[in-house]
Amino acid sequence: MKRWLLLVGLAGLMSGCAKFPSTIVGDATRVIFRMTVRDQIRNDYVYIIPIRVSTSTNPTGDGPIPVIAYPNANGFVAGNVDYFVVWTPDTQQYTLYQFNDSTLTLFTAVGTPINTVDVTPGSKTIGFELSLSQIVGGAGTWQQIQSVQVNFLTMNYRLTAGASASGRIIDCLGDTNTFSDLNEYVTIPTATSGIYDNARFNFIEPVNVDCPDPDLDIADWSVEIRHL
């Protein structure tokens, strides 16, 4: 049975245009994220990339997973997460947020990516580049980070109080037709440069079979580790 998941637009979460202090170390390792949907990026939909950083190459516990039931902390992501990036249609910019508590209830805008992919009418892809120095989390220093756990989440609205689960549609890494496959985040080692994509992970994300909305259906994704 397909899982029709819920959400309510990230209104308020991503409004406004903030200036952030520079926290980017020039020689830090870069992480480049890209996600392509089957049809096009819509201004009224929600596209989020949650990130967990770790000093281990094989972190324990769940990484970022989608919210599929209410009540929940934030209406879009669960598991273990440190940061997330959202493309904000109102401002046509990407914003990096950091969670302030382990329950994933509170989060704060902490910066913007170094480079981004412009989203114009008809665009299929969102993408951005972060420095590891921007997402240190509890690692202490960016040099101590050994892996990042990543998921790609699309949804027509967040699952929050008052939102109907029956009208919610999501996609994420894994087959959303199967409940157990909703937890298919990926773990990316940061020790060496490399490109990790759907093909390299044995097509963990199926195309045109697990999401009925082509503007939410993830067609491809990649995470690149680039040492400078």
What is the pLDDT, as a whole number, of residue 91?
78
- Model confidence at 173: pLDDT above 70: yes
Residue 178 resides in a domain: yes
Task: Give Cα 55 distance to the centre of its chain.
Answer: 20
d(CA 71, CA 127): 30
Residue 11 resides in a domain: no
- State the total domains in the chain: 1
Stretch 56-78: mean pLDDT, rounded?
Answer: 90
Residue 134 resides in a domain: yes
Residue 133 resides in a domain: yes
Residue 130: which of 214, 49, 37 has the closest Cα?
Answer: 49
What is the pLDDT, as a whole number, of residue 96?
97
Which pair of structure tokens corresponds to residue 48? 């989020």
Residue 166 resides in a domain: yes
d(CA 219, CA 39): 9
Least confident of 67-71, 73-77, 153-157: 67-71
Residue 66 resides in a domain: yes
This prediction has a pTM of 0.88
Mean pLDDT score of the chain: 87
Backbone angles phi, psi at 97, to 5 degrees: -115, 150
Residue 18 resides in a domain: no
- Model confidence at 3: pLDDT above 80: no
With cut-offs at 50, 70 and 90, classify the pLDDT of residue 179.
confident
Residue 49 resides in a domain: yes
Structural domain boundaries, residue 75: 30-226
- Model confidence at 105: pLDDT above 90: yes
Q: Which amino acid, one-letter code, is at 87?
A: W
Task: Give Cα 92 distance to the centre of its chain.
Answer: 17
- Model confidence at 2: pLDDT above 60: no
Residue 85: which of 4, 164, 173, 151 has the closest Cα?
Answer: 151
